[in-house]
Amino acid sequence: MVNELKDKIISRQAYIGIIGLGYVGLPLTREFLNAGFSVLGFDIDPVKVEKINRGESYIKHIQSGFIASYVKTNKFSATNDFTRLREVDVIIICVPTPLGEHKEPDLSFVLNTTKTIAANLRKGHVVVLESTTYPGTTEEELLPILESTGLQVGKDFFLGFSPEREDPGNKKFSTRTIPKIVSGVTEHCLDIIKTLYDQIIIRTVPVSSPRVAEAVKLLENIYRAVNIALVNELKTVFDRMGIDIWEVIEGAKTKPFGYHPFYPGPGLGGHCIPIDPFYLTWKAKEYDISTRFIELAGEINAYMPYYVVEKTIKALNAHKKSIKGAKILLLGLSYKPDIDDLRESPALKIMELLMREGADVDYSDPYFPELPPLRKYKFDKKSVNITPKTLKNYDCIVITTNHSTFDYDMILEHAKLIVDTRNALKLKGIVNGKVYKA
C-alpha cells in the first residue's frame, strides 16, 4: 500500500482534502492546485464554502481569479459535508488551536475534526495535522481516536504532523519556498508524508517524530515572543530615560554578528506568537516544570496595549484634554502592516481599553471597510476615510498598524496629537509636543 500511495501522489492522482480554509488552508490549497492536484476543501463556515464555489477569495493575497479558474475546471471545490472525506486520499487538518479563558490549550477544533475523520476513515487514508499544538498531541490525542476504528496506523492509514509556517504579507517567502518540517508516527507514515510535501514545497525537513515536529514550531514562536518581550520591556525602560528604543535598535543592528533585531509594538498579534508559548507552558506542568521565562515574556507582551493606553492618556493630559469624551482615531487594525488579518490584533484590545476609559473611538483601515464580529470582540464600527478635515476632528490619532497606504506626511501635518506605536513617522522622541512614542 505504501508504494501505491506514493505512486498516486507523485502522479498527481491523489485527491487532496484540506479541512479549514483560512489563512493556512487556502494558501496550502493554492500550492496543491499549482502542482496539478485536485483539492476538496472542507469548512464549517457556509460563507467561505459559498464564496469558494462562486470562485471568490476572502484572503487578500489569494486572488479570486486564481480560485475561479480551478473551480471552473472542477479541480477545486468546497463543502461542509464531511462524509465526503471518504472521497479523498489525503486529509490535512488546518483548524484553529486557540487558548481558553485561563490561557489553557483549546483543542476542541482539532479533536472534533479528528472524531469526524474517524467516522469516515478508510484504508489508505493519509492524515496530517498542521495546526500548532503542544508536543504529544498527534500521538496522544489524534492517534487513539483514529485507531478506535480498528484500523492500524502505518498499515491501514498514515498519520503525521507538519507544522504550518505561514507568514501573511511576507514578500520574500511563500508557502512553497518556506522549508517544511515533516514527521510521521511510523517510518511508513513519514515516507508517505514527506513524498506528499515534496511535490509542493521546495525543501522538506524530516524529523524523527511528531513530538519533535510539534516542539519545533513552538520553539520558533517562543523565540520570537521572548525577544519581542525583551524589546518591549526595554522600550518602557528607555522611555523613562528619555532614550528612543528605535534609534537604539538601529544602532545595535549594525553589529554583523551576535545580534538579530526585534522591534517593539503595541502588543502581539496573529494566531501564533500570542498563543503558541502557552501551549508549552501548559504541557510543561504535566512534567512538574515551571516555564517562568516564557510566562514572563507573555506577561510583558500582554501588558503592551495597556501601556499604549497609559501613554495616550498622558499625551492627552499634556494637551489639557481628558480621556473621558476624547475623540480618538486608531490607524490600522490588522496585526501587522499591509495584510487583512485581525487575528489577536492588539489594536482591538487598545480600542476596547480606550472605550472603557470613556473615549469615543473610531478607526481607519483600508483592509476592513467595516468590522466583522470576532470571537472576542463585537464592535459595530466602519472605517473612517482619512482627510485633512477628518483628522482635525479627532483629539488624538493612535497609529496601531503602520500600513504603507497611509499618507504619514499628511497625517503629521493635520493631526492635533499623535501616539505612534510603530515608529511609522520615523521621528525621534517628541516633536513639538505633538508626536509621542508608545
Residue pair 40/88 in contact by the 8 Å Cβ criterion = yes
Query: CA nearest 300: which of 279, 273, 324?
Result: 273
For residue 386, the cross-strand partners are none
Give the catalytic positions in this structure.
272
Residue pair 63/57 in contact by the 8 Å Cβ criterion = yes
Looking at residue 303, its pLDDT comes to 95
User: What is the identity of the amino acid at 137?
Assistant: T
**All 3 cell numbers of residue 334?**
490588522
Looking at residue 429, its pLDDT comes to 62
Looking at residue 430, its pLDDT comes to 67
For residue 99, the cross-strand partners are 105
Residue pair 268/301 in contact by the 8 Å Cβ criterion = yes
CB neighbourhood size of 320 (10 A): 6
Domains of the chain: residue spans and CATH:
2-209 (3.40.50.720), 242-437 (3.40.50.720)
Whether the CA torsion 279, 284, 290, 291 is positive or negative: it is negative
Looking at residue 101, its pLDDT comes to 79
Along the 438 residues of the chain, how does pLDDT read in single tens digits?
A: 899 999 999 999 999 999 999 999 999 999 999 999 999 999 999 999 999 999 999 988 899 999 999 999 999 999 999 999 999 999 999 999 988 877 889 999 999 999 999 999 999 999 999 999 999 999 999 999 999 999 999 999 999 999 999 887 788 888 999 999 999 999 999 999 999 999 999 999 999 999 999 999 999 999 999 999 999 999 999 999 999 999 999 999 999 999 999 999 999 887 777 788 888 888 898 899 989 999 999 999 999 999 999 999 999 999 999 999 999 999 999 999 998 888 889 999 999 999 999 999 999 999 999 998 887 888 889 999 999 999 999 999 999 999 999 999 999 999 999 999 999 998 866 667 899 999
Taking the C-alpha atoms of residue 238 and residue 254, their distance in angstroms, rounded to an integer, is 19
Tell me the CA distances in angstroms from 97 to 144, 209, 283, 360, 391, one per residue in order.
19, 20, 14, 33, 39
Taking the C-alpha atoms of residue 80 and residue 57, their distance in angstroms, rounded to an integer, is 17
End-to-end CA distance of the chain: 59
Taking the C-alpha atoms of residue 435 and residue 408, their distance in angstroms, rounded to an integer, is 12
Taking the C-alpha atoms of residue 224 and residue 267, their distance in angstroms, rounded to an integer, is 13
**All 3 cell numbers of residue 342?**
485581525
User: What is the identity of the amino acid at 322?
Assistant: S
